[in-house]
Homo-oligomer: A and B are copies of this chain.
Amino acid sequence: MRIAAMHVTPIALGDPPLLNAAGLHAPWCLRSVVELVTDGGLSGLAEVPGSSAVDAALAAVRETVIGSDPLNWHALRAKLAERCSPETSVARGDKPWDGRTRVQVYSALDVACLDLQGKAFGVPVATLLGGIVRERVPYSAYLFYKYEGAGGDLAFGTDLRATGWAAARQRAALEPAGIVAQAQAMVREFGFQSIKLKGGVFEPAQEVAAIKALREAFGPAVPLRLDPNALWTVETSLKWGRELEGVLEYLEDPARGQEGMAAVRRALKLPLATNMCTTSFDDLPGSACHGSENIILTDHHFWGGLRASMELAAHCRAFNRGVSMHSNNHAGISLAAMTHLGAAMPNLGYALDTHYPWQEEEIIVGGRMKFEDGCVVLPKGPGLGVELDRVALARAHENYRRCGLTERNDEIEMRKKVPGWKFAATRW
């Protein structure tokens, strides 16, 4: 079996004006869809965060990919490592989504090859990752402070016909009551059993108040998380972390860097999770040395694929770390991949993050994937178990062409609302 063709399709999906440490989401989020086609006509899919940089990196490895055996990941990965020059592999920066292009290339090809392999063998990707330990993979409600608006073609406007979650996802949420209302609508629609609030937007007192309001509204049986995206100093983390002991399931990335996180972790009776201080295999010795976190949030797009994420899970088991998953905006191919990973990960200890409820469009056959009691049921069928809806893909690609964005930049977007706004790596 050989890879005969590789198609990369940049797409844009409507995204509401969500606030975060880095600024504001643009009306469109970008993804790139990768399709590998074998000489036998099988099609393997993957989806990665979209940018002109990742598209260029994927284009640069095309000749390496064509002709390769999708069953031999080790050989392909070695060739990719040789081909990916250091320039395509920028260090992870300050901002939450600052990924490294090289690992996204690995991720795209790892996932698409696993999809092909599953189709060739007639088994789900989760089986190829070692076997299915759960058919229903739990996700969390991912709350955002936001301005009013739906994103996409409505830009900052709203769809006045919307009801239920579709209406709630358009409403502003800028204080505790708005966050609680958002949570209630999202939980009602999707059945999530855990709740995460993206913080790092307002001063800690306001975000802690929102968490306390959520606790008040949902009670102690619903695990809560807060993610200030490393904008707090160690001192601020200690002050507000103490307020959250016994309230949060975990506090995600309060402070910056492994040493800062370790200092917070030593002092607090509160588990710390990270997708910012321990974000690659190169960071694992430092994590072991400093003891920077209790839980590592993998993201197969940024750790180099599903197989690499399973290696991270094995590390977490040996080093007494919990493991769960981080998310950026994504469509159904990534949701399927995340669900296969969650289905196969023996030591998955927490509901996964997903931005999925914030999008309305889909590029796979059957449209939006369903949540049952906050879980995604592992797709049936071999490989990832999803197929491209080519009409929807063409529409999403047309959105990409129309929207004019070529990379994510929440700072520029934020300045449209708050002139002169600047990202600060440490804010409080």
CB neighbours (8 Å) of A318 from chain B are 281-282, 284-285, 315
Known: A71-B123, A72-B127, A123-B71. A346 touches B78 (CB 8 A): yes
Interface string of A53-96 (1 = CB under 8 A from B): 00000000000000001011111111000000000000000000
Complex Cα gap A320–B78 (Å): 18
Task: List 7 extra interface pairs beyond A75-B132, A285-B288, CB under 8 A.
Answer: A71-B127, A71-B131, A75-B133, A284-B319, A285-B319, A288-B289, A314-B314
Nearest Cβ distance between residue A329 and chain B, in whole angstroms? Answer: 29
A125 an interface residue at 8 Å Cβ cutoff? no
In the complex, which residue of chain B has the Cβ closest to the Cβ of A120? B121
Interface string of A370-414 (1 = CB under 8 A from B): 000000000000000000000000000000000000000000000
Nearest Cβ distance between residue A112 and chain B, in whole angstroms? Answer: 15
A74 touches B130 (CB 8 A): yes
Complex Cα gap A78–B133 (Å): 9
Complex Cα gap A1–B344 (Å): 18
A311 an interface residue at 8 Å Cβ cutoff? yes
A330 an interface residue at 8 Å Cβ cutoff? no
A239 an interface residue at 8 Å Cβ cutoff? no
A307 an interface residue at 8 Å Cβ cutoff? yes
Complex Cα gap A69–B74 (Å): 26
CB neighbours (8 Å) of A77 from chain B are 346
In the complex, which residue of chain B has the Cβ closest to the Cβ of A288? B288
Q: What are 24 sample pairs from A and B whose C-beta atoms fall under 8 A apart? A: A71-B123, A72-B127, A72-B132, A73-B131, A74-B130, A74-B132, A74-B344, A74-B346, A75-B132, A75-B133, A77-B346, A121-B121, A281-B317, A284-B318, A284-B319, A285-B288, A285-B318, A285-B319, A285-B320, A288-B288, A311-B311, A311-B314, A314-B314, A315-B315
Point out which of A74, A132, A281, A317 has the most chain B C-beta atoms below 10 A from its C-beta. A74
Instruction: State which residues 280-319 of A face B: CB under 8 Å.
Output: 281-282, 284-285, 288-289, 307, 311, 314-315, 317-319
Complex Cα gap A203–B131 (Å): 50
CB neighbours (8 Å) of A285 from chain B are 288, 318-320
Nearest Cβ distance between residue A243 and chain B, in whole angstroms? Answer: 31
